Amino acid sequence: MKVALFVPCYVDQFYPQVGMSTVAVLEHFGVQVEFPEAQTCCGQPMANSGCMPEARPLAHKFIDVFDGYDYVVAPSGSCVSMVRHHYEEFFEHGDVRSARVRRNTMELSEFLTKVLGVKTIFGSFPHRVGIHQSCHGLRELRLSSSSEVMTGRDDLLKDLLSQLEGISFSKLSRNDECCGFGGTFAVAEEAVSCMMGDDRIADHKAAGTTVLTAGDMSCLMHLDGLIRRQKLNIRVMHFAEILSEAIC
């Protein structure tokens, strides 16, 4: 199986340890990972801001770089969602090459559970963990259940973490509420974004969260900034970091 790692811009620039943890986890489960150095941004920031002409060449670059791999794995639901659900308009209808790359681009928890079929993880993480469900992963990739949908779904991230010895989970009053980041929304609507983030943190604080995790460092970056400003004793980790720390 030929697997490529796609690293989101903010992971590359601010949280390289998340990329390294992703590689460690994949290799732990026997995957030989390649990192194509020609990769660039997937174009999501431009597309979210309505700058579709600027996003188009990045989408074509992504397909060129990752064509030929069986799977492309990323520690980011939002970037994967961009590729899978928003690249279609950048290519001609029936473009086989782009359709294949889009279909085989997967978020890390999705790849571990649905492709590798990971059901047993030997490791320990004796902490009370609060899971933040990012909007793209939840509502576009459907990695967990949404409160507005009656049909239940597996919670892929929790299913993976629950296999670790000693771990417990916070019971939040609102399991799938947005953190308020939303990319450029956090810049254009700073006050609203921060209020939404404070609401999420208050929920985790009340639930006794000691480690806050998610599948998107963009959400965690936003929440971590607010946590540090409030001087709260809550550690923020991407779930790949938790798995890497627990099994290594």
Among 57, 88, 115, where does a domain finish? Answer: 115
- Whether 89 and 170 share a structural domain: no
- Whether 140 and 93 share a structural domain: no
- Whether 109 and 132 share a structural domain: no
- Whether 132 and 243 share a structural domain: yes
Total number of domains in the chain: 2
Residue 238: the pLDDT is: 98
Domain that holds residue 99: 3-115
**pLDDT tens digits, one per residue of 108-136:** 999 999 999 999 999 999 999 999 999 98
- Whether 141 and 95 share a structural domain: no
Q: Which two tokens stand for residue 221?
A: 């970056």
d(CA 215, CA 203): 18
Q: What percent of the chain has pLDDT over 90?
A: 86
**pLDDT tens digits, one per residue of 18-59:** 999 999 999 999 999 999 999 999 999 999 889 999 999 999
Residue 149: the pLDDT is: 74
Q: What are the residues whose beta carbons fall under 8 Å from the beta carbon of 188, sequence distance 6 or more? A: none
- Whether 140 and 75 share a structural domain: no
**pLDDT tens digits, one per residue of 227-246:** 999 999 999 999 999 999 99
Residue 150: the pLDDT is: 67
Q: What percent of the chain has pLDDT over 70?
A: 100
What's the Cα-to-Cα distance from 105 to each of 95, 108, 147, 161, 209, rounded to whole Å? 16, 10, 26, 22, 31
- Whether 76 and 164 share a structural domain: no
Among 63, 85, 115, where does a domain finish? Answer: 115
Is the confidence at residue 8, as pLDDT, over 70?
Answer: yes
- Whether 142 and 191 share a structural domain: yes
What's the Cα-to-Cα distance from 209 to each of 64, 162, 234, rounded to whole Å? 42, 15, 7
DSSP 56: H
Among 60, 84, 115, where does a domain finish? Answer: 115
